Amino acid sequence: MKGKYKYLLRMQLYNLFGINRLIHSHNKQEKQRSAIVATLGLVAIAVFAIYITEFSNSMAQAGLSKALPTLIVVACSLATLTLTFVKSTGVLIGIKDFDMVMSLPVNTISIVTSRITLLYLINLIVGFIAMLPSSVIYIVYEHPPISCYLFLVGALFLTPIIPMIISLSLGVLIIAVSSRSRHKNIFSLVLSTFVLLTIVFASARTQSMDATQITNLGAAMAETANKFYPPAILLTNALLNNDWAGFAIFAAVSMLSGIAFVTIVSHYYKALNTAVFSHYAKKDYKLETLKASSPFMALYKKELCRLSSCTIYALNSCIGIVLLFVMSVAAVFFMPSALRQQVEMMGIMSTIQNIMPIALSIFVSMTSTTAASLSLEGKSRWIMCSAPTQARIIYNSKIAVNLTVILPVLYVSGIFIRIAIPCSLLQTILMFVIPTVYAFFISVLGMYLNIKFPKYDWTSEYYAVKGGAISVLATIGGGISSSFIPLYLCMMFPQYQMIIIPSITCLILLGTLAIYHKVCQTQLYV
The reported pLDDT for the residue numbered 68 is 76
Top-confidence range, 50-59, 147-156, 227-236, 394-403 = 394-403
The reported pLDDT for the residue numbered 439 is 93
476: confidence class by pLDDT, cuts 50, 70, 90:
confident
The reported pLDDT for the residue numbered 215 is 35
125: confidence class by pLDDT, cuts 50, 70, 90:
confident
The reported pLDDT for the residue numbered 340 is 60
The reported pLDDT for the residue numbered 262 is 85
- Using alpha carbons, select from 57, 73, 386 the residue that is nearest to residue 226: 73
Spell out the residues 6+ positions from residue 315 whose beta carbon is closer than 8 angstroms to its own.
86, 89, 189, 192, 193, 196
Helix 217-228 vs helix 231-241: angle between axes, to the nearest 10 degrees?
140
CA 346-222-201 angle, to 5 degrees, is 70
The reported pLDDT for the residue numbered 213 is 40
Q: Are 412 and 327 in contact (CB under 8 A)?
A: no
The reported pLDDT for the residue numbered 514 is 94
What is the overall mean pLDDT for the chain?
76
Burial of 23 by CB count in 10 Å (0-12 exposed, 13-18 middle, 19+ buried)?
exposed
The DSSP call for residue 64 is: -
441: confidence class by pLDDT, cuts 50, 70, 90:
very high
- CA gap 182, 185 in Å, rounded: 9
Spell out the residues 6+ positions from residue 79 whose beta carbon is closer than 8 angstroms to its own.
126, 130
- Using alpha carbons, select from 436, 423, 414, 209 the residue that is nearest to residue 332: 414
What's the gap between Cα 255 and its chain centre? 26
CA 205-207-210 angle, to 5 degrees, is 90
The reported pLDDT for the residue numbered 412 is 92
Q: Is the pLDDT of residue 489 over 50?
A: yes
In sequence order, what are the beta bridge partners of 89?
93
336-364: average pLDDT: 72
Q: Is the pLDDT of residue 263 over 80?
A: yes
The pLDDT tens digits for 13-26 are: 766 665 666 666 66
The reported pLDDT for the residue numbered 32 is 66
Q: Are 515 and 448 in contact (CB under 8 A)?
A: yes
Say which range, 135-139, 144-148, 193-197, has the weakest mean pLDDT: 193-197
Burial of 4 by CB count in 10 Å (0-12 exposed, 13-18 middle, 19+ buried)?
middle
235: confidence class by pLDDT, cuts 50, 70, 90:
confident
The reported pLDDT for the residue numbered 208 is 45
525 or 151: which leads in pLDDT: 151
371-388: average pLDDT: 80
Share of the chain above pLDDT 70, in %: 72
- Using alpha carbons, select from 260, 81, 54 the residue that is nearest to residue 160: 81
- Using alpha carbons, select from 518, 521, 508, 355 the residue that is nearest to residue 439: 508
388-409: average pLDDT: 90
Say which range, 60-74, 295-309, 396-410, 473-487, has the weakest mean pLDDT: 60-74
466 or 58: which leads in pLDDT: 58
The reported pLDDT for the residue numbered 210 is 42
Tell me the CA distances in angstroms from 42 to 377, 462, 474, 475, one per residue in order. 30, 22, 13, 17
The pLDDT tens digits for 178-232 are: 655 555 455 555 555 555 556 555 555 544 444 344 334 445 555 555 566 677 7
432 or 192: which leads in pLDDT: 432
Q: Are 386 and 525 in contact (CB under 8 A)?
A: no
The reported pLDDT for the residue numbered 472 is 80
265: confidence class by pLDDT, cuts 50, 70, 90:
confident
The reported pLDDT for the residue numbered 444 is 93
319: confidence class by pLDDT, cuts 50, 70, 90:
confident
Top-confidence range, 28-32, 375-379, 417-421 = 417-421
384 or 44: which leads in pLDDT: 384
Share of the chain above pLDDT 90, in %: 9
Top-confidence range, 139-148, 169-178, 464-473 = 139-148
The reported pLDDT for the residue numbered 13 is 73
Torsion 406-199-191-380 (CA) sign: positive
- CA gap 14, 22 in Å, rounded: 9
What is the phi/psi pair of residue 93, to 5°?
-120, 140
